[in-house]
Amino acid sequence: IVEVETNMERAWRVRAGIIRVCGMETYQCVVAASLSDEPDAGSSILSFVRYAMKRGPRARFDKAAPDVERFAEIVRSVKNERHYWVQFMRFSKTRDGVYVAVCNPKASVVPLLWVVLGPVQHAAVFDEVHHVAGVSHNGEWQLVRSPDFVVPPAAVDDAFYEQAWKTFYDSVAVDARYNPELRRSFMPKRLWKNILEMHEDLPGTELARA
């Protein structure tokens, strides 16, 4: 293993080359793959980029090609993880008026969530697995490494909204159609610790027990 120091000049040159030859969508797939936790993500990206620079914009659709197949799997896995957190990210309001969400993704997907969240005035999304936080201040997002992040105390009225959400969750449930196995297929259990309505120690979550 050789540690290579990041050279931003070269990085921007590679970025420009991929976009010029293969298009922005292909470049976005490369970005997604770079956020993966898979140990072979780096080598898969390198193989794909070499192939794509010769093949052009259609390269990412050549999923039967050896240089594309594994890359496509990694991209799909990262995008699926992003999709989970678009659905299940829960924000709490702190006493300072900042909205904070904590997530535990299998890939470092916080940078991919900014587009969905948009220009929020004061918010933070903390990834407790990769120890990074996306922080929005005056509508601009920044990525911050934060190994010792502590969620600030909740606002006084936050408990009211939490209870309202849990009550709604419990009220719309249909007892006759309770299917914990199906729910776990759509909402993996590894996510539950950061999903408000799945906290068993809080009222209004009778159906959270699986």
**pLDDT at residue 91 greater than cutoff 70:** yes
Report d(CA 172, CA 104) in Å as an integer. 27
Q: Among the listed ranges 33-42, 47-56, 77-86, 136-145, which one has the minimum average pLDDT value?
A: 136-145
What pLDDT band is residue 205 in, cutting at 50, 70 and 90? very low
Average pLDDT in the 142-162 region? 83
- pLDDT at site 209: 40
pLDDT tens column, 110-126 = 999 887 777 777 888 99
Report d(CA 56, CA 20) in Å as an integer. 9
Q: With CA atoms as reference, report the closest residue to 140 among 121, 116, 113.
A: 121
- pLDDT at site 200: 65
Mean pLDDT of the chain: 87
83-107 burial, b for 16+ CB within 10 Å, e for fewer?
Answer: ebbeebbbbbbbeeebbbbbbebbb
Neighbouring CB atoms inside 10 A of 130's CB total 19
- pLDDT at site 13: 96
pTM: 0.83
